Structure 1
């Protein structure tokens, strides 16, 4: 049985940044286990890369820029839901992993939906999805 891999939606700049990082890692860290692991990770991301704008279905999923409002204080946070390997690849956009407690709590939700999860320190965190748009 084959596994279907979801595309990773990237801007052209983000893809170029990852390709440059891969080139540098390969040239500078050929004998380093950590560098080899990063090269494997980068190759996987680049192989799955889909350049352009992800279709806008409004569903919170990897590749979407998500804005949440936290119930405790009404504060907002906007971030890209995606692989932490993309951190810094597309400017200063915060990146939250779909596997993080917040990422797991909001996956599949739509704007207006409410969420709740336990933070790693045990605190209950609640809020609502304000917006979910393709990251461009």
Structure 2
């Protein structure tokens, strides 16, 4: 599956994908003879080639190192805080690509039901989305800030 719309990635996520791609290409380039491939080896190679193509597509369409505007509007690259309506439960997550690990935050894709419902919302907007069992969940966007505003700077080494 290919995508032509930009995908927002953190610099860390991009680096992880680049490392994974390098590892997969090293395995792929190590050499093999297809005639000697067993069915399992063939399936593993096919899966590896699909992952290589997927990562290349992600990286070629990725936007990274570029923050969305700090305008309080939910869009990829923003950290969103929502309240599940009718409860006091809140959740904070990154709206971005799930294809790479963002260790410090949960990540929801803009294509997920929650991500799609919130994209374009402003602080205070109420949106709803359906979960797989068909239940409709209402949420309110409490905050939307660029990812880089939520990342704490690494301490400088002592001199």
* TM beyond 0.5: yes
Give TM class, smaller chain: 0.7 to 0.9
Are 1:47 and 2:46 matched, yes or no? no
Q: Structure 1 residues 5, 133: closer, same or farther in 2, change over 3 A?
A: farther
Match of 1:66 in 2: 80
Q: Aligned with 1:104: secondary structure? A: helix
Q: Report the Cα offset of residue 17 of structure 1.
A: 1.2
Radius of gyration: which is bigger? 2
Q: Structure 1 residues 51, 101: closer, same or farther in 2, change over 3 A?
A: closer
Match of 2:16 in 1: 17
- Segments of structure 2 that go 5 or more residues without pairing to the other structure are 30-41, 149-159
- Segments of structure 1 that go 5 or more residues without pairing to the other structure are none
Match of 2:95 in 1: 81
Tell me how many residue pairs correspond in the alignment. 131
Query: TM-score under structure 2 normalisation?
Result: 0.72
Provide the rounded CA distance (Å) in 1 between the counterparts of 2:64 and 2:53.
Answer: 20
CA RMSD of aligned residues (A): 2.1
Provide the rounded CA distance (Å) in 2 between the counterparts of 1:134 and 1:83.
Answer: 15
Query: Which is worse superposed, 39-48 or 5-14?
Result: 5-14
Aligned pair partner of 1:122 in 134, 142, 150: 134
Match of 1:113 in 2: 125
